[in-house]
Every structure is written in structure tokens, then in C-alpha cells.
Structure 1
Amino acid sequence: MSSRTAYLLGGVAVVVIAIVVAYVMHSSSSSSPKVQADGYGAVHDTAVSALLDSDGAIVLGKTNPTKTIDVYEDPLCPQCGSLEHYYGQQIAKEIDAGKLAVRYRLVNFLDPKSGTKDYSTRAIAAGDCVASAGDGPMFSKFHLALFTTKQPAEEGGSLSNEQLAAIAKDAGASQDVQQCITSGDRLDEARDHATSATSALTSAIKQVQTPTVLDGDKNVDTGDSTWVTKLAG
């Protein structure tokens, strides 16, 4: 093969590789949803409350919302983190508008994949402590941080109770709420709540899969980037 032919073939190969890389990058960026309501942040309206139900569900919303949905998440679940990253602010905006209320049902099946083997349960307990104060914007800020900027890695990641309390403090939690978290007072309750949520999820979709969003008994397609808009009507 002549040097000229080799150079020509090499040039063609470089061009082909560049086209393939550009296509892959374009496809990847096209398939990723945009962050909805970017910049809105957590719930703002002080009329929004956080209510801790006896079954462990944390209901975030105003009185008489247009629609209430169920969101099942594990605090260590990276896909749950993605859901909150892309749609958490839009959900908060619709909650403030009174169009949505969210019944958060947290599960702990990823405990064994955390560094401490109990992170999901402790994070649920921390959420229970925060929700018990009844402050909707505070819980929303805590929940959003827990699943986005502060979420540890699935394989071996974890946060201490003190770190969880610090997240709550940043969200505006009182000393009593922070003490509730650091002391681990709600761990047994959190395990019961996670068991209840797991049972409800299994009954609804016949498996434990997070994130799962239910509109009544309908499994919402969160792969559709307009799902929150459609639910809010």
C-alpha cells in the first residue's frame, strides 16, 4: 500500500470516528430530559404542610389539592436521585400552586448496598423527624437535597446521622428536629414505615421498583418528560 493511500484511509477513518462520536454525543444529550422549572428550588409557600401519616407516608401539599400522587423512593436509589434532579423543582412548583400533593412512600431495600448497611433506613428516620415538624417548605428543601446534591453513591455510600442532621439544619430544622435525627429515635418507626411502603408498592405493581409514581392505581410513565405537566393538568 502506498503512503498516499495509507494517509487517505487514515483521514477517512478519522472523519468516520468524529462523525460517530458526534452522533453518540448528540443522541445522549437528546435522550436526557431537561431539568424542569430549573431555578425554582423547593416548595416556597408556607401554606404547604408536611403530614406524617400513621402508615409512614409523608404527604406534602396544600389543603384540598387538585390531585394527590404517590411517589416511592429509596434514599440511596440513583434513579430516584435523577427523578428529583430533573423533576423535583417542577413538582415543588405544582405543589405551591395547589395542583399537586405528593404522598412520599420511602423504602429501604438498598440498605445492604450502603457503607453502613442501614443508610436508607436512617435517611427515612431523618425524613420522619423533619416531617413531624409539619413545615412543608422545610421538608421539601430537605427531601430535595437528600436525593440530589447530598445523595451518597449506591455502592458503599452513606451519610452519618450528624450529616443528615446538618442537611436538616440547612433546610431550617430546629434543634429538636436535629436531635431527633442524631439520636436515631425514629429508627424502629422508620423500619416499620419502610415495610409498609414496600408492601403497598408490591401490591400496586407486583414488585419493588424505585422510583415509582402512582396516580391512583395507575403507574405513571416517568420516562415521558411531560409527566408532571400532564398530572398537574
Structure 2
Amino acid sequence: MTGSSTQPRSRTPLVVGIIAAIACLGLALLVVVGLVVGGVLYTSGHTDQEVPAGSGTSTGDLVLPPEVGQDEPYLELSTAADGPVVDVYIDFLCPHCATFHDAQGADLQQLAEDGEITLRVHPRPMLDPNSSPAGYSSRAANAAICAYAGNADPAAWFAAETALFDSQPGESGLTDEELTDLVGEATGADVSSCVTEGIYIPWVQDVVEPEARQSTEGTPTVLIDGETFTGDVSEAGSLKTAVEAG
């Protein structure tokens, strides 16, 4: 009787299988680690908006202008110990606001610089839908705030405001490049990135405008110690007279 001989089985396939399994596990771990790290980087890159130095305070996606509190819907350009509080609501696309600025702007600036009034300016985006493309009021307000934000400088605001009203466009508005050039030439401030990124547009739209809708019926509107100025806003000197009359 002839016995059958049994050949020893090769262990090569088993070893190869083990190596392959380890390689797959390592690859899977690398993928998981990559996803986790990528998620962390994405989140950290989108949690806080990057704000240029000296531009203001970031609260999530909302950037406040310098020296503006979270619930303050205005720029306080001067503070008077005993003088009245004057709130001015304007829209840079509003033709009547340009007329108001021509008649009252120099007086308001002088009263503010002399410390006779607390001047609060509310730059509204009320007429955003009226421009083509929409949004000029917000972008123009942002450009003026960008100039002010460099050093929290009221003089820069007044210069930017004058330039924007003197060059007030029609419904076509101005491009970001045109706003940058106009405000930059008027104030000497580099506002290019601030204008392009629309840094303060959320503040204008989400803080300034909601309060303005509750407090006023349109632009221009002036409140003196909370009372609406009812004089002729196009008559030079009328607002100064009302302020000084107390």
C-alpha cells in the first residue's frame, strides 16, 4: 500500500494578507486624521472675521467701528459735557441728504469740533434697493466708516462725508474702486481692502438700520435731545440756530 505524502502549505499568502490589512488600516487612519485636522482648520478660519489692525472690534461676523459699543447704532463724533445730543440720520444716495449736508454740514462739524454738541451720525442703507446694482448706500456708508476707522478720526469722517455727497451718483452708484479713490483722496486713508471686503456693511444693515426704522421716517432726519428738528433742513444756519436755542 502506497501512502500519500502531504506538502506543507506556503505561508506567503497569509503574510501578504496581514501586510495588506495593516496598510489599509494605516491609510484609513490617515484619512480620518486628515478629515479631523481639515475640519479644525476650516472652523478656525471661519469663526472670526479677520479685521485689519485698528479697524474695530469683531463679534463673530459683525465688526463694530472703533469706540462703538455693541448696541450703539451710530458713530459718536463728538461728546459735550453740557451741550445737547444731536442725532443725524443720513443716506449717501439720498438727494435731500446732499442738500442737507450743503446747508448744515459745516455748522454741524464746527459745533462738534468746538465741543458744543454730542454729535451722533447714523449712516443708513435705506436706499440700497434704489441703486443698480443694489447696495450702494451700504457700500458708501462702509467707505466713510473705513476712513474714520483708521484712527477713530472724526475729521476723516467729515472729509469722507463731504466727498461722497459732493460726488453723489445717480442710481448706478459708484464702484468699489471709485469709492476707494474718492474717499482715499479726500482723507489720505488707505481704505482699499476695507471697502472691497465690506467690513462694516453688516453693522450698517443689522445695527444702524433697524434702530433707524424705529426712530425715524426717512432721511435726512435730525433729533435734538430726542426731539425731531422740524425746521427747514435746506436753510443754511437753521439747525445751528435751533441747537443754540436749546
Equivalent residue, structure 2, for 1:43: none
Equivalent residue, structure 1, for 2:222: 213
Within 5 Å, which residues of 2 pair with 1:1-233?
51-54=67-70, 55-62=72-79, 64=81, 66-133=83-150, 134-147=152-165, 149-153=166-170, 156-175=171-190, 177-199=191-213, 202=214, 204-205=215-216, 208-223=217-232, 225=235, 226-233=238-245
Q: Secondary structure at the residue paired with 1:72?
A: strand
Query: Given that residues 80 and 117 in structure 2 are in contact (C-alpha distance below 8 angstroms), is that contact kept between their aligned partners in structure 1?
Result: no
Displacement, 1:198?
Answer: 2.6
Q: Provide TM-score, normalisation by structure 2.
A: 0.64
Displacement, 1:194?
Answer: 3.6
Structure 1 or 2, whichever has the larger Rg, is: 2
CA distance in 1: counterparts of 2:113 and 2:69, whole angstroms: 20
Amino acid at match of 2:193: Q
4+ residue segments displaced more than 4 Å: none
Amino acid at match of 2:93: L
RMSD: 2.2
Change (3 A) 1:100 1:169: same
Q: Secondary structure at the residue paired with 2:187?
A: coil
Query: Given that residues 80 and 116 in structure 2 are in contact (C-alpha distance below 8 angstroms), is that contact kept between their aligned partners in structure 1?
Result: no
Amino acid at match of 1:136: P
Displacement, 1:172?
Answer: 2.5
Report Cα offsets for 1:193-227 as digits up to 9, x if no partner: 3433334xx2x34xx31111001221102316422
Report Cα offsets for 1:127-183 as digits up to 9, x if no partner: 332232201111111112212x11112xx23011122112221232432x3321123
CA distance in 2: counterparts of 1:142 and 1:230, whole angstroms: 26
Equivalent residue, structure 2, for 1:12: none
Residue ranges of structure 1 left out of the alignment (5+ in a row): 1-49
Displacement, 1:63?
Answer: 5.5
Change (3 A) 1:141 1:232: farther
Change (3 A) 1:145 1:232: farther
Q: Provide TM-score, normalisation by structure 1.
A: 0.67
Displacement, 1:99?
Answer: 1.1
Change (3 A) 1:227 1:185: closer
Residue ranges of structure 2 left out of the alignment (5+ in a row): 1-65
Displacement, 1:53?
Answer: 4.2
